[in-house]
Amino acid sequence: MSSVPQGLSEFLHRYIPDIEQEMFSFLPVQEPEAYMYGPMRDYPERGGKRFRPALVLLACDVFGGDMKKAVRTAAAFEMFQSFAVVHDDIEDDSEMRRGKPCMHKLHGIPLSINVGDALYAKVFEVLSANRELLGAEVSLDLVEEMIRGSRETFEGQAYDVGWIRQQCVPSEEEFMTMLRKKTGWYTGRGPCTAGAIIAGADPELRAHIGDFGEAMAIAFQIRDDLLNLSASEQDADVAPGITSGAYGKERGGDIAEGKRTLIIIDLLRKCSPSEQEDVLEILHAERQLNTAEEIERVIALVKRYECDRYAEEVCLAKARESLAYLENIPANAARDTLGEMLDFLVQRAF
């Protein structure tokens, strides 16, 4: 398990409870409790690292803004994360999320789709409530950023699920475009840009912090894809926390879902024609038809052709790119904490 730098750990333990309190204040206990409001609180209550909302606060702080005024927006980004993974789990037919069965496995697809929709609507309810804190103009800027980022996320997801449906394998360049859209915005650029907007940073600095966040998010996702192949089966049953916990998803789930990851793209261009045929057959099969033995066979090929090492190199290159963007921002304690977050998310071993 990776250790969290002390400065980052102190920051998270100090401010994440405020973000969670704000988020849950918008998730009331009311009817229809069993079919909507209870499940809406499910994924947020399971925990998580909460680094996306933390980025909002740090990006605000790094430009001299008042972090107290950024807490509500930070809560909106965590709400977006919950919405996104509810729908993502359905589309991928995933099994585990944060140490427990995915929502659609517990409640069925129709109810889960509605819960995801309700969470997405809540995102804009939260952002609209910023008017009393930030004024109408800044609040509208934040809403427009969320709309722009939502579109990017949905376009990225369209590529991700479309490739599976069409049974095609993208080029590495096409994959990186998908990653920039699907993960780069809501995991990095969006939260960082929102914090800069609240702080009143000028457009150039907003671009720098956004570029930092996007490159970090891409490195984070590649690391996540690597962890999917190295995690033990036990890791799926332990929910990740702010500074502790395990992976929270099933080993080899990306392969079972037919995901086109950088690792798989590299494998398919390195392995023999017969091995390529075998891998594609596994990727194209219905998830429930794939056996644990088949998943492990693909993982063994990844190791043999050192595709994990290649993905590791790309991950670290993106991390260096992210750090270079961060160095364009004036030095202060918040920038140091952002650097610690980059290092932690990229180097984590769980």
HEC profile for 291-335? CHHHHHHHHHHHHHCCHHHHHHHHHHHHHHHHHHHHCCCCCCHHH
The whole-number pLDDT of residue 269 equals 97
CATH topology of domain 6-347: Farnesyl Diphosphate Synthase (1.10.600)
pTM, two decimals, is: 0.92
The domains of the chain are located at: 6-347
Are 217 and 184 in contact by the 8 Å Cβ rule? The answer is yes
Name the residue with higher pLDDT: 29 or 235. Answer: 29
Beta bridge partners of 96: 101
Reference 47, options 97, 107, 103, 90; nearest CA is 97
Q: What is the pLDDT of residues 19-61, one digit of tens each?
A: 999 999 999 999 999 999 999 999 999 988 899 999 999 999 9
Q: What is the pLDDT of residues 137-153, one digit of tens each?
A: 999 999 999 999 999 99
Average confidence (pLDDT) over 108-132? 98
Average confidence (pLDDT) over 279-305? 93
